[in-house]
Structure 1
Amino acid sequence: MTAIPIMWLRQVKRYLRSKARIVGSLGQPLLFLVALGFGFGPIYEKAGGGNYLEFLAPGVIAMSILFTSMFSGIEVIWDRRFGFLKETLVAPVSRISIMIGRTLGGATVAIMQGVIITLISFALGFRIHSFWALPIALLFMLLVALMFTALGTAIASRLEDMQAFPLIMNLLIMPIFFLSGSLFPVTNLPRALDIVIRLNPLSYGVDGL
């Protein structure tokens, strides 16, 4: 069982040591919050939708967790290319323990990313209406992070080409993100899209946040 905390700690340390990675991963969510939040905010309010930033922020937080979780799988391909994965697999530990440790580590990094975006959202004017919303939000962050980190790791374990991984991730992530209700209300959509949204696990994460 020691493999699980070791793999978890390795994932977290790699994230914390890379300041460029931390700063770079904030760019896209911050752009969405500022450009869309303040750009579409007046239009949303005139249409009677209320404060658009309060609608948008949970979706952007979920987006940040989604992207970070799924793309954490590329480290599996990276470790395979440089021999670390082979050394790990020949160690006297189960492969399930390695998978769990990697998944927990990637999920922790994704949650840290989500917390940072949450704090930025507060600084931009996002507000919560109940203290209990915070622990509930953290619970949904954890569920979303675990689900998509496991998915990203599983996909990466089947791939050899590092260049193919981001292409496949984008092919999966974009529909999941845009059809989750992160950027716009999903009511009164065509029935076909409504069915897809109901099958989209991220949409439930956005609702929970």
Structure 2
Amino acid sequence: MKTTRLLWTPAIAFWWRDVIRFLRQRNRIIGALATPLVFWLLVGSGFGPSFRNPGAAVDAGSYLAYFFPGTLVLIMLFTAIFSTISVIEDRREGFLQGALVAPLSPAAIPLGKFLGGTTLAVLQAGIFCVLAPLAGLPIGWHQAALLLPALIFVGFAMTGLGFLVAWPMDSTQGFHAIMNIFLMPLWMMSGALFPMPAGTGWLYWVGALNPVSYGVTAIREAFAGGNSCAWNAGYLTALGVTALFAALMFVISVNLVAKRSRRN
């Protein structure tokens, strides 16, 4: 009962508040969904003729299929950026300071923020999945069952990264700058745009140590049903690494909130 009162009740309130706030701001919805859609069409159509997957020729249409999982991760990345801006806005409005001094569990604020960002990311990624048949990707019950946990863990991880960046920030401009400098390279070097090379070169290790790579792999494996990753990370392995990274983001976020609460 005490856990419900100190953790779940405020966390659900924070979650619902963030979802409603995001849905009322249509420009953020359009920005989080339309930008990756245009990027997918332009980059997929432009790079397709010159794209070659090792061992197989790939035309423009199949490159759209290859790029589709990476676009889903980009959608969730953009949603995480737009949803975690609320951390800065709440601090500016005084809401966050009030929540920090309230008798709540230190995990209540990050849990609510993480759930809100994950909900929005999964919803928007799910809408984009309707276009999967246009790229030649199957989207049946089997793929949906594999996609859902992958999208949830990727959304949780992306929201966690956004929360960690937003927590010490005081301006939305600085937040956007850091997110673009930090998160976009992570996405670009995740195998979303091109296959990461196998072997022992530095580019291989950048991809292998990049947590976003495993999110892209999990989504790609959910569509393909096979092993399409250069470092032989199958669906369960990629999903497990993504889940561990998401849990790490949550633990770090709870510790940051607890430290701020003790100071207040």
Same fold (TM over 0.5): yes
Q: Could you tell me how far apart the structure 1 residues matched to 2:159 and 2:32 are? A: 16
Q: CA, structure 1 residues 19+146, in 2 after alignment: closer, same or farther (shift >3 Å)?
A: same
Q: Could you tell me how far apart the structure 2 residues matched to 1:159 and 1:178 are? A: 24
Aligned residue in 1 for 2:95? 84
Q: Greater CA deviation, 184-193 or 51-60?
A: 184-193
Instruction: For 1:150-161, list aligned pairs within 5 A.
Output: 150-161=160-171
Cα deviation, residue 71, structure 1: 4.1
Deviations 1:63-96 (A, max 9, x none): 1112222443221111101111122223332231
Q: Which amino acid aligns with 2:16?
A: L
Residue 110 (structure 2) pairs with residue 99 (structure 1): yes
Q: Greater CA deviation, 7-16 or 32-41?
A: 32-41
Aligned residue in 2 for 1:8? 15
Q: CA, structure 1 residues 142+5, in 2 after alignment: closer, same or farther (shift >3 Å)?
A: same
Q: CA, structure 1 residues 8+129, in 2 after alignment: closer, same or farther (shift >3 Å)?
A: closer
The correspondence for 2:58, drawn from 21, 33, 49, is: 49
Q: Which amino acid aligns with 1:41?
A: G
Deviations 1:131-161 (A, max 9, x none): 4222211211111111121221122112223
Cα deviation, residue 45, structure 1: 7.2
**Aligned 8 A contact 1:111 1:145 in 2:** yes
The correspondence for 1:167, drawn from 147, 171, 177, is: 177
Give the gaps of 5 or more residues in structure 1. Answer: none
Q: Which amino acid aligns with 2:34?
A: G
Q: Could you tell me how far apart the structure 2 residues matched to 1:165 and 1:189 are? A: 36
Q: Could you tell me how far apart the structure 2 residues matched to 1:67 and 1:120 are? A: 18
Q: How large is the Cα RMSD of the aligned pairs?
A: 2.2
Give the gaps of 5 or more residues in structure 2. Answer: 1-7, 220-264
The size of the alignment, in residue pairs, is: 208
Cα deviation, residue 120, structure 1: 3.3
**Aligned 8 A contact 2:32 2:82 in 1:** no
Q: Which amino acid aligns with 2:57?
A: G
The correspondence for 1:177, drawn from 177, 183, 187, is: 187
Cα deviation, residue 115, structure 1: 1.2
Q: Could you tell me how far apart the structure 2 residues matched to 1:155 and 1:29 are? A: 22
User: Comparing both chains, which one has the higher relative contact order based on Cα–Cα distances under 8 Å and sequence gaps of 6 or more?
Assistant: 1
Identical pairs, percent: 38
Give the TM-score normalised by the residue count of structure 1. 0.89
Instruction: For 1:51-200, list aligned pairs within 5 A.
Output: 51-122=62-133, 124-128=134-138, 131-188=141-198, 191-200=201-210
Q: CA, structure 1 residues 205+184, in 2 after alignment: closer, same or farther (shift >3 Å)?
A: same
Q: Could you tell me how far apart the structure 2 residues matched to 1:158 and 1:19 are? A: 26
**Aligned 8 A contact 2:192 2:216 in 1:** yes
**Aligned 8 A contact 2:70 2:191 in 1:** yes
The correspondence for 1:27, drawn from 29, 34, 45, is: 34
Q: Could you tell me how far apart the structure 2 residues matched to 1:106 and 1:142 are? A: 10
Q: Could you tell me how far apart the structure 2 residues matched to 1:61 and 1:126 are? A: 15
Q: CA, structure 1 residues 103+43, in 2 after alignment: closer, same or farther (shift >3 Å)?
A: same
Secondary structure of 1:163's aligned partner: helix
Q: Could you tell me how far apart the structure 2 residues matched to 1:162 and 1:52 are? A: 35
**Aligned 8 A contact 1:38 1:53 in 2:** yes
Cα deviation, residue 181, structure 1: 0.6
Give the TM-score normalised by the residue count of structure 2. 0.72
